[in-house]
Structure 1
């Protein structure tokens, strides 16, 4: 085999040519092709996890490695491989970062106007009991932040809030890290699941439904785990009721919303319903030790403060942005409105990107489509405009907040564009297919092992979105080779990934800085790694059973 493919030796007019995928392109061997295909992923993971290079540069280095493997190893024309990268970067920007930017803009407006503080205080009025505060702040409110912002915001904000409520810094950081699990797959308005559907070519509703039948099991366990982390066995004995109610309502809300309402609204609905359920239970059991209140807390201040209570009007206004988002997204799903919104579509075959799969059919990476109005980013922009009016944010201030949001996310934008470009090059050149077919040799055990791939990717990258972009297509290829439902393993990648979030260097660093424990990331890692692995084993067992008649009825 020549070290340089023929396409590198031809004229520039031949840099763009029809390319048919061959998963055994390297030496005619599937094993060797899979081994070479791992190189781009290894570059990203080693740079992130060992060398500690910033995510954006690791992503670009991985992209360069993927391009070299595609051209040299898989004989993909240079121009075609660059077009595949450009297509992936475009998808990373629209709709992925379009969603994230607009969601974070809405959150930043609530911070700028002080309504975030009002919302925070309202969560602190229910109880002075630390176990209940862990449930409401770290789990419920953290899930709401994950739904709107993601990318480390829930850990940073909830850990600070817990310290302000009287938690020891180490305990606050650990609780915030462990709580940031179950909501992650549907975080940032469903971006991880939306990305997973796009890179795998599976229908979004099918992927979201399957993830919504896996992560709720984690939601059932995490609140109980939080009260144990706060107060050990006594915590579970005395505060099991709010923990179970919160976990059950969140799990039910996540399942119902992801399966029957809206992918984007999944975590918002689940978070608000679970918080309301705990509030309602506290009113039903006012004498319970976990519902103990003090006059200061009832008045809206923190322990030992004499702050005047927030007015009912201000409290309603603080909750208004989330109600507005729900209403806007719900209206967009109505039968009389949804078809009209979906009709406004940007769809085209990328010029020059002529890729055929091994069977000779056009590959999914050649076509781009975006429902311009009904996409979550545009709906969030509409909701944000309404929120600006309700919160009395002037046009200039709203624009300044948007500009600041773009500046905050500039490196995240580059990272996501780079990761998606990497994923598209690997998918278009058949690198992902080669790895997937090789991994499929695990057979039936693959269902148990598949969440581990997502867990590992998120532990290194800190992003379920990136993990789905990197391994989503691989999971589908492996599932098809092993005779397993592709949506099951695709969902397992995202569901397993959420448990790697608490171990990622990014999240550990955010938590350490937030509670003023800089340099103590190793301490936090030792505190959470056991819980991460334990929950991963439980989730993997459930997913393995979903591949059998025992729980096979759970598949959509």
Structure 2
């Protein structure tokens, strides 16, 4: 027996929207006003959404329960799988004592908290978003900043806010690939349109981050460094998205901004070194020196991580890993049981790509790094157990949040909210980013938001005479600023920043910034639709005929062999360099 989704269950769209908005409003109320813990707010939100889905939308109880289970399972894999492995990597670095060397390295570049935030939260986080995505950037960068001595709330908050501009091109451009598949618009024009929107935000974001951390006057003190960071990132993001496509903007812009800022800091220093209130003054012990081998060893977990996530993003490697290490199944009782508004039956498949998942790439990086940083696998196992214990509540929160997202989508509640925005007529380009923002807030993923709303964005734009690439790209651009307040992202950041149980504080820290940036993007998109039409790329729609190609897995095996050789050479180099001198720093008394 099949059940058909409804958009206006009360036969009055205003009333239907009010009811549909209740679960969303509850999340805001629970985290901002009531200051609930993340998992408590998520579990109660599931109960509210389930009652509305069953009693108002007429969703069968069985389908509602299965929808929640489907979402929770997706929250466990691949999302929690990736988060656990990311935090495990950082914990290994701390346990081995190698993070002390990294802290010394960062202090040698700059002890200024403002500049450290730019290098790690903004630039390095963007690079990680481009390679791994799905929570890894926030998990790793927030943990690094806390390890450096940042206030945990600020560390987690600014990493969430910094992880906006790169989200559109995350995971080697997957959000744009999905938007293209759903809308029928080729990837390149969507990439170009997004690349003509987000660089404006990218230029402002470094100054915005520093202002949040230290205030406007303190941000002005380092404006040359802020300018170098933002302009280099924005230029490289614009250039790569417009001329190379959606796969590499984050990787190129992230690395480019790191190199530019580090090079600039060799010739320019702020007049005063800024630290947090009540934090000891910056001290850099010049009597301590580390060899290049020791530095390489300390950074080796993150070097191996970078190599692995780049390799796992290559299609030939994905193909060979999926050919031997993936299975999928029809979710029992849910697959093809729901009929969408357009009459299509909704497939509900669960893909377990246990080899090609980004979390597996990070697991391999963990295993490679353990001996390189001087730990035994027994010690590594103890660290892993401690990591699981550290993340028990975030795991519950993420599973609950994804269950909440899935029942909102499957019941039609999300479609009710979207329908109202789609009926705003001439002003729809202004509200198009709000649709993406809403989708990412609910699902925690720009990719999922694009899968939900790209077709709606396309059809609505056509009906009002606006080029559809503007609104499809707006769905992506608006979604990036919803990421910082998505309950899923909040749970990841809280876990990395040792703020478990304080998710409400983190939500209140980021929510106003999300609304401000959303307004900025809404105004930009409105201008693109009607005022600066010359920014819209010329393109042709994709052909409706699909060609099925069989992947050439032989290339993947060659790539994997090259990866194994590269890791072997790296490990040998580290072992050789660290044996040249004793692994302890030189102390001059």
Common fold, TM-score beyond 0.5?
yes
Alignment correspondent of 1:308 = 288
Work out the CA distance in 1 between the residues paired with 2:453 and 2:65: 24
The residue aligned with 1:97 is 80
Within the alignment, does 1:448 sit opposite 2:448 as a pair? Answer: no
Distance change in 2, residues 1:132/1:330 (3 Å): closer
Q: Are the structure 2 counterparts of residues 512 and 95 from structure 1 closer, same or farther at C-alpha, using a change threshold of 3 Å?
A: closer
Relative distance call for 1:292 and 1:78 in structure 2 (3 A) is: closer
In the aligned structure 2, how far is the partner of 1:240 from the partner of 1:341?
A: 46
Deviation at 1:93, TM superposition (A): 1.0
Report whether the alignment pairs 1:363 with 2:346.
Answer: yes
Q: C-alpha deviations, 1:38-93, integer Å up to 9, x for none?
A: 22222322222222221111111111122111211122211111111111111111
Corresponding position of 1:77: 60
CA contact under 8 A between 2:232 and 2:257: conserved in structure 1? yes
Aligned Cα RMSD in Å? 4.7
| Contact 1:76 1:429 survives alignment (8 Å) | yes
Task: Mark the runs of 5 or more structure 1 residues left unpaired by the alignment.
Answer: 1-16, 164-168, 294-300
Shift of 1:490: 3.2
Q: 2:387 aligns with which of 405, 420, 432?
A: 405
Are positions 1:22 and 2:22 aligned together? Answer: no
Aligned ranges for residues 43-192 of structure 1 at < 5 Å?
43-127=26-110, 132-133=115-116, 135-136=118-119, 139-140=122-123, 149=136, 154=141, 158=145, 161=148, 177-178=157-158, 180-184=160-164
Structure 2 SS opposite 1:52: coil
Aligned to 1:427: 409
Distance 1:468 1:45, change over 3 A: farther
Kept in 1, the 8 Å contact 2:87–2:496? The answer is no
1:346 aligns with 2:331: no
- Decide which of 474, 482, 494 is 1:497's aligned counterpart: 482
Residues 102-150 of structure 1: CA deviation (Å, up to 9, x unaligned): 1111111111112222222212212466764554355446667887755
SS class of match (1:553): coil
Distance, in Å, in 2 between the alignment partners of 1:412 and 1:206 is 34
User: 2:409–2:415: 8 Å Cα contact kept in structure 1?
Assistant: yes
Q: How far apart are residue 213 of structure 1 and its match?
A: 6.1
**Please, which moves more after superposition, 116-125 or 268-277?**
268-277
Residues 71, 371 of structure 1: alpha-carbon distance in 2 compared, 3 angstrom cutoff: same
Alignment correspondent of 1:482: 460
The answer to which of 51-60 and 445-454 deviates more is 445-454
Q: Which of 515, 520, 523 is the equivalent residue of 1:538?
A: 520
Could you report, residue by residue, the CA deviation over 1:384-440 in whole angstroms, capped at 9, with x for unpaired residues? 211223223211121122222222221111111111111111211212112211221
**TM-score scaled by length of structure 1:** 0.74
Aligned to 2:262: 279
Structure 1 residues 456-535: aligned runs within 5 Å: 466=444, 475-476=453-454, 479-480=457-458, 482-483=460-461, 484-485=468-469, 487-498=472-483, 535=517
Give distance in 2, aligned partners of 1:88 and 1:376. 19
Distance 1:530 1:125 in 2: 34
Deviation at 1:371, TM superposition (A): 2.6
SS in 1 for 2:424: helix
Equivalent pairs counted in the alignment come to: 506
Q: Is the 8 A contact 2:233 2:254 kept in 1?
A: yes
| CA distance in 1: counterparts of 2:375 and 2:397, whole angstroms | 31
Secondary structure, aligned partner of 1:44: helix
Q: What is the CA deviation profile of residues 326-363 of structure 1, one whole-angstrom value per residue up to 9, with x for unaligned ones? A: 22233334454332123343222212111111232111
Match of 1:331 among 311, 320, 328: 311
5 Å-filtered alignment, 1:1-20, equals: 17-20=1-4
